[in-house]
Amino acid sequence: MKTVIEIEELKKIYTIGDQEIQALRGVNLTIEEGDFVAIMGPSGSGKSSMMNVIGCLDKPTSGEFYLDGFPVSEAHDDDLAVIRNQKIGFVFQNFNLLPRTSAVENVELPLLYGGVSAKERRERAIASLVSVGLGNRLHNKPNELSGGQQQRVSIARALVNNPVILLADEPTGALDTRTSIEIMNIFQQLNEAGKTIILVTHEPDIAEYAKRIVRFRDGQIIANELVTQRRWAHLEEVST
C-alpha cells in the first residue's frame, strides 16, 4: 500500500509576545492511500494545527512531513501553493463558495489557478458536479442552493483536480442530520472508489463513518484506532 502522508516528530510552536505555545509536540502519523481518517480532539488539542500543516496552510516548526513523497517541511511558499492546488482538495464547514458565481464557475476555480484552458475547465467542472449529483444545478448560485447542495459543490470543487487527499474540516457542522448523512454517503463512496480522506470533526457519530479515528490532546496523539463498529451512510438511513 502506498503511503501518502508520513509525519515524523512534527512540532508546531506559536510565539505570542514573549510566550511560546506548543500546538504540536512531536507528532508521528502515517496515512496510507485509500484510508479514511477522522481527526478528533477538544479545543486546543492540536487538531486544527495538524489540519493546517497537512493542508500546507502552515509550516511546522520542526520535524518531517512528506505528502505523496514530497518533503513538505522543506518547501517554499510557492511550492506550497502548487501542492495545495494540485494534491489537496479542501472541503470546509461553511462551503467557502463565491456568492455571485455559479456552481460550475466555483468548481472551475482550482483549474483556473492551475492554468487549464477554458474548454477543459468547463468540461471537468461539469463532470465533477455530475459525480456529486448536481448535473442539473450547474448555473445556480450559492443562494439558490440548499446547504447540502452547497456542500456538494464544495466537494465537486475539491475533486476537480483529482487530488491525492481530500481534507474535510467539519464538513457537516452547518448541516442538519439528514443532510449530514447524505454528505457522509458521498465521502464513503469516494473512499470506496480509492480516494484518501482526512476528516476533522468534533462529532463522534460523524467520526464513526471513517475507517480510523486519531485523537489529539495537548498537542499529541493519544489514540489511533480502527473503527470497529463503523457507520454506513446507506440511502435507507437517509430516508428514515
Domain ranges of the chain: 34-60+77-235
Contact 6, 27 (CB under 8 A): no
* pLDDT, mean over the chain: 93
pLDDT beyond 70 at 239: no
Lowest mean per-residue pLDDT among 26-35, 53-62, 123-132, 228-237:
228-237
Q: What is the mean pLDDT of residues 17-37?
A: 95
Residue 172: exposure state from Cβ atoms within 10 A (0-12, 13-18, ≥19)? buried
- pLDDT tens, residue by residue, 63-110: 999 999 999 988 888 889 999 999 999 999 999 999 999 999 999 999
State the pTM of this model.
0.93
Contact 7, 72 (CB under 8 A): no
Query: 463512496: which residue's cell?
Result: 189
Which CATH topology does 34-60+77-235 take? Answer: Rossmann fold (3.40.50)
